[in-house]
Structure 1
Amino acid sequence: MPRNRQDVDRDVKVAEIRRTAVSILRDGGPTALSHSAVAKRLGLARTAIYWYFPTKDDLFVAALADVYAHDLGTPPDDDRVMPRLRWALERLTALQPLTHALHERAKHSQAAADLEAGFLEAMTSRLRTLLALRVEPDQLDLVTATIVVFIEGLLVQPRSAQERQELLQFLVAELTHEPADPV
């Protein structure tokens, strides 16, 4: 018989549901994630999951926020632009199916739109900080936006890792006037 929510502290239960949702999301993608799938793995009634995450989008956004935090939360301890961008590009490439699903859901879900906007803002802020010492202040916003748009384009084109790295290296070297790092 499924356990009821009164037996467990709310924060503990939310964390357990989120961990399970992340696992399902990683294993099967957005289509595999549902209230029923989470409930089944946890041995709970499906309605118990709705208590904490009223919609599928709420569940998806919570799980994806955790994936982003885990996969992108700790960049390399290197203040050079290209090693950090290479690291981010390859992780973003691996996350592209989930990010694409977020983009599609953001058209109809405020929770998804908020996560998408927050994610873009956080990534842009990190990049801006990384570039601040290498780009003239009056060009910083333009260079940052150019690199963001360029990376977004790389993520949707079918290119090899080597091609992505070479193209990114060329762009960054041109925009920052720094010599190219070996790829």
Structure 2
Amino acid sequence: MPRNRQDVDREVKIAEIREAAVAILRSGGHPALTHSAVAKDLGLARTAVYWYFPTKDELFTAALAEIYARDLAAPPEGDDVMTRLLWALDRLTALQPLTHALHERARQSEAAARLESALQESLCTRLRTLLGPRVDPGRLDLVTSTIIVFVEGLLIQPRTDEESRELLGFLVAELL
């Protein structure tokens, strides 16, 4: 029988559920994430998970937002553009299956569309900040958009790491 956890703070419960969802997403991707799987991992009733995350998309986006926050939190020190772009490319490549699932869900889910939009805005802001000292202000938005579109293409095209790095290096050298 699932345990009764009335004595546990609401925010602690939400964090525990989110952590279980993060673990499931990392190991099995979007298809593996269900309210039942999270409840089973935590020894809870499935309805307890629904209480905090009424839909799979809300559970998915909460867990995925946590994954993005962790995986993209600590770029390399310094201001070398290529080092930081390659670091981001490596992380985004590892997250690509989850990013693809987010993109698919964003077509039907407001929660997923909000997360996708927030992620895009965050990445654009970070890239503008990195490029700002090196790019004429009149070209900054265009250069930023070009790099983002290019990286998105690298993420969906079957390329080796070496090819991706070479292509990105060429683009950055041409733009900067």
TM-score class, shorter-chain normalisation, is over 0.9
State how many pairs are aligned: 176
Aligned amino acid, residue 99 of structure 2? T
Match of 1:19 in 2: 19
Alpha-carbon offset, residue 16 of structure 1: 0.4
Structure 1 residue runs of 5 or longer lacking an equivalent are 177-183
The 3-state SS of whatever aligns with 1:48 is helix
| 8 Å CA contact 1:5, 1:48 repeated in 2 | no
Aligned equivalent of 1:166: 166
CA positional deviation for 1:171: 0.2
What letter corresponds to residue 46 of structure 1 in structure 2? R
Q: Distance in 2 between the 1:4 and 1:174 partners?
A: 61
What is the CA deviation profile of residues 101-154 of structure 1, one whole-angstrom value per residue up to 9, with x for unaligned ones? Answer: 000000000000000000000000000000001110100000000000000000
Check whether the contact 1:81–1:131 (CA below 8 A) recurs between aligned residues. Answer: yes
Alignment partner, residue 118 of structure 2: 118
Large movers: runs of 4+ above 4 Å:
none
- Counting aligned pairs with the same residue, the percent is 70
What does residue 30 of structure 1 align with? 30
CA distance in 1, matches of 2:75, 2:119: 15
Aligned-residue CA RMSD in angstroms?
0.7
Asked if residue 81 in structure 1 is aligned to residue 84 in structure 2, the reply is: no
- The TM-score normalised by the length of structure 1 is 0.95
Q: What's the CA shift for 1:78?
A: 1.8
1:73 to partner: Cα distance = 1.1
- Distance across 1 between alignment mates of 2:125 and 2:173: 20
**2:61 counterpart residue number:** 61
Aligned with 2:139: secondary structure? helix
**TM-score with structure 2 length normalisation?**
0.98
Shift of 1:173: 0.5
In structure 1, what is the Cα distance between the partners aligned to 2:4 and 2:33?
Answer: 21
Cα drift, residue 80 of structure 1:
1.0
8 Å CA contact 1:4–1:48 kept in 2: the answer is: no
